[in-house]
Amino acid sequence: MADRRRGISAHEAQSAAFPLIFDIRALAASTPAIPSARPVSADELTSSPDRFIDSTETPLLIVCDIGFRSAIVTDLLRSAGYNEAVSLEGGMEGWTAIGLPLDSPEGLTQQQYRRYDRQLKLPDFGVGAQQALGNARVAVVGAGGLGAPVLAYLAAAGVGSLTIIDSDDVEVSNLHRQPIYRTQDVGTGKARTAADFVSALNPDVTVGARSLRLDDSNAIDALADHDIIVTCTDSFETAHAINAAAVDLGIPLVFGSVYRTEGQLAVFDSRSGPCYACVFPTDADGSALSCSIVGVLGPVTGVVGSMQAGEVVKLLTEIGESSSGRLGLYDARTQTMESVSVRKNPACRVCGDASC
């Protein structure tokens, strides 16, 4: 190796055509790797190198995530007489950053591994979770202040199918809190325009757009065949129609709402906990003023919508703990988040004994 250097760049490594490449990353066996690289732990390689290397004169490349651990392993191997060992400078991050070839395990394409790289590296995520997202069908009702971040983050995360339901057109007053729309979109239908945004952001996502206002007569038909429903509507009546459909269909409902500088978040699943109507009864006062009258701080919709998207991802991938049975209360003025327990109401007209 030229000048017996300890490190080598990604381009140099590709040109050198090493007969032996060892990938010492913890997830090497289940993530994209340099073609012909062999996954092995650093401890195994340094404690018994003769198990893996026939000759001390064999050129070999050591690969880790960013090039730090591979440099240490290279030094240890050289001290043991393997003087042709070199470390890949920048590691796999450097290799993938310049678009060099990768071999991918079954399940995801190379492009998908690159796109979802950062979440695939989470210790409780992995390929299985990504595939669960890719196989999921999610309905998002309302493509406004909450729906915009929900759609952006679910599409970016790789949810396979998104159905966008909204009967409104884009208005100029929407733009301060709905960043998926541009000035030139004013006057266009939200559902179709949001669908175009999703398709441009992630071509992997199948997206449907329905310019429809949901009510008791059409909600079940519109929401059937989905795994999760996300309600981002500011209409009390529409929210109850969505909830009734979710209960009938046995589908979890991820709820969010905002009021001025405050927000609420919950997961309602009547199969194991309360439904929306248990917490917000149908006979309650539903006359809360809309943001067009009382105003809303744009970033609040971003915070709550992002949390809704997070709940969807957790439900689909079974990572973390669902917010079912709790109502989250966010206050932007004090930058605080509280959580209160909510329980199933046996007298609920939608999911309780009174509904039978």
pTM greater than the 0.95 cutoff:
no
Same structural domain, 185 and 91:
no
Identify whether 116 is part of a domain.
no
Which tens digits make up the pLDDT trace of 270-281? 999 999 999 999
Instruction: Report yes or no: 305 and 256 within 8 Å, Cβ to Cβ.
Output: yes
Which tens digits make up the pLDDT trace of 94-147? 999 998 988 876 678 878 888 988 888 777 787 889 999 999 999 999 999 999
Identify whether 322 is part of a domain.
yes
Percent of the chain with pLDDT over 70: 94
Same structural domain, 156 and 234:
yes
pLDDT above 50: residue 2 = no
CA pair distance 108, 210, nearest whole angstrom = 30
Which tens digits make up the pLDDT trace of 211-239? 999 999 999 999 999 999 999 998 999 99
Split into its structural domains, the chain has a count of 2
Tell me, what CATH number does 217's domain have? 3.40.50.720
Mean pLDDT, residues 298-319: 96
Alpha-helical segments (H) within the chain: 10-16, 42-47, 68-79, 91-97, 110-115, 117-120, 126-134, 147-157, 190-201, 219-223, 236-249, 276-279, 291-294, 298-317
pLDDT above 60: residue 322 = yes
| Residue-number span of the structural domain to which 196 is assigned | 136-355
pLDDT above 60: residue 1 = no
Same structural domain, 86 and 213:
no
Same structural domain, 157 and 90:
no
Stretch among 20-29, 152-161, 282-291 having the lowest mean pLDDT:
282-291
